[in-house]
Amino acid sequence: MAIRGNDVADASASLGRQTTELLQQLIRNAAVNDGSPDSGHEIRQVRTLQAFFEGSGLEGVVVEPHPGRGNLVIRIPGTDPHAPSLALLGHTDVVPVEPAGWERDPFGAEIVDDVLWGRGAIDMLDLTAAYAVVTRQIARSGFRPRGDLVFAAVADEENGGHYGAGWLTEHRLELIDADYVLTESGGAPAGSRPAIGVMIGEKGQAPRTLRVTGVPGHGSAPWGSRNAAVIAAEAISRISRFRTPTVITPQWHAYAAALELGADVTAALQSPERLYEGLPATGRLQGFAHASTHTTISPNVVHAGEKHNVIPGEATIRLDIRVLPDVDAAEIEGYIREALGDLLEHIRIEGDLIVPSTVSPVETPLFDVLRSAVRRARPAAELLPMLAAGGTDGRFYRARGIPAYGFGVLSDRWDYGTFRTLFHGHNERIDLDSIALTADALDFTVREFLGRDHGVRLPR
């Protein structure tokens, strides 16, 4: 039995090594998405992945909705058309860096003391690389999945998925469609057991623009003027002070308990009346704790004035609004109106788009397999279903009723506070242990979920 144990350890170490090497290449390709259509250049990632799959018998389909914005989708057909299929959904773009804030080359993919540095190391080229390694391994090993296995390396997640998962959902659904989906931002441990975070859903979005009207005039005589910039400043200040209702979701209730901050703090964090009392004790997780329990309104883009000697007659404020489950457009309008009060005389609220929050059920055969996968490395671990504050491509599936989970397994050196700080932050990096743990858990999950009969027969 000892020999068999070593075989398993060797196999997962090899998956880890392959993932590390591929991750380094993906980081070095610097597929930086700055939000403009001609950025990203994810086609470089597609070429790297195609080279990686060469000789495995897997080719896949390349889709390029805009020059350079490449997506690669590979489907390994299952043997049973009624068995559930599984998609591994990884984005290949990364957010820009501010090089001055980094201690190492953000696109060097250096390994120092068993830690791999670079933009995309945790968001989410590590997972995209692991998905590719697991998919290739499945093909090479001759394993025949019962349901389809889909590997999707998609562009543009960091700017809404317009050239990636969103586009594919709208125009080429047959390529990426699946009954279950795994994607990013799970895996951080919490508490002593530990509990391993799985993102089962995310908040929604409802961007709004405020148009401020003042009276233009000469900048040399500001007394008594109605300067749109001054009105906008007051509006921003009121919005930042405004408190939307505190809502304790089931996910937050469980997460607060998993933090193990003592009975009194936990009770405060689980109480709509006492939440703000408990927030300071959550340390680096304060922002997440607040976002998990509130629909948030953040004034992030402000414009006023053109010329230094002209009092501006117009200003605009763009609000990033992230909505909890079951919050509708009328409630959002109500929050803004209440926050602005008498300033509404000078301000018009524009926009009515609402992308609702999406949440997947946890009573699924895939969730059970994820629990077993985590327990291979951490026998006492429980899964902690979480709601992400930000957005992922998982929403395109959840919106169609398909369970999508953000899944991974990070090592003991991580907590969700550290994870969130590095996400889109300086010095993004991942330890090689976490890469190996995640690759092993994904390999187990794919084989277990697609290899066994879970009693689910889907109509086709």
Alpha-carbon distances of 55 from 59, 136, 140, rounded to whole Å: 9, 10, 9
Mark residues 118-137: x for contact with Zn ion by CB under 5 A, - for none.
Answer: -----xx-------------
Q: Considering the rule CB under 5 A, would residue 93 count as an interface residue with Zn ion? A: no
Number of residues interacting with Zn ion: please give it, by CB under 5 A: 3
State which residue, 278 or 406, has the beta carbon closest to Zn ion. 406
- Residue 199 Cβ, how far from Zn ion at the closest point, in Å? 11
- Residue 315 Cβ, how far from Zn ion at the closest point, in Å? 33
* Measured distance CA(248)–CA(271) in Å, rounded: 7
Q: Which stretch binds Zn ion (CB under 5 A): 48-56, 180-188, 234-242, 441-449?
A: 180-188
State which residue, 43 or 124, has the beta carbon closest to Zn ion. 124
Mark residues 184-213: x for contact with Zn ion by CB under 5 A, - for none.
Answer: x-----------------------------
Q: And the tokens for 75?
A: 């489907």
State which residue, 89 or 190, has the beta carbon closest to Zn ion. 89
State which residue, 86 or 89, has the beta carbon closest to Zn ion. 89
State which residue, 102 or 419, has the beta carbon closest to Zn ion. 419
State which residue, 22 or 212, has the beta carbon closest to Zn ion. 22
* Measured distance CA(33)–CA(68) in Å, rounded: 11
| Residues in CB range of 309: below 8 A, 6 or more apart | 218, 219, 220
Binding to Zn ion in span 308-347, by CB under 5 A: none
- Residue 389 Cβ, how far from Zn ion at the closest point, in Å? 13
CB 106 within 8 A of CB 198: no
- Residue 136 Cβ, how far from Zn ion at the closest point, in Å? 22
State which residue, 393 or 431, has the beta carbon closest to Zn ion. 393
Residue nearest to Zn ion (CB): 123
- Residue 204 Cβ, how far from Zn ion at the closest point, in Å? 17
The Cβ of residue 204 has, within 10 Å, a number of other Cβ atoms equal to: 21
Q: And the tokens for 435?
A: 């890469």
Q: Which stretch binds Zn ion (CB under 5 A): 116-124, 315-323, 344-352, 377-385?
A: 116-124
- Which amino acid belongs to residue 199? M
State which residue, 42 or 148, has the beta carbon closest to Zn ion. 42
- Residue 424 Cβ, how far from Zn ion at the closest point, in Å? 9
The Cβ of residue 289 has, within 10 Å, a number of other Cβ atoms equal to: 24
- Residue 30 Cβ, how far from Zn ion at the closest point, in Å? 16
Q: Is the dihedral of CA 376, 379, 382, 387 positive or negative?
A: negative
- Residue 27 Cβ, how far from Zn ion at the closest point, in Å? 14
Q: Which stretch binds Zn ion (CB under 5 A): 22-30, 42-50, 117-125, 448-456?
A: 117-125
Binding site residues, Zn ion, CB under 5 A: 123-124, 184
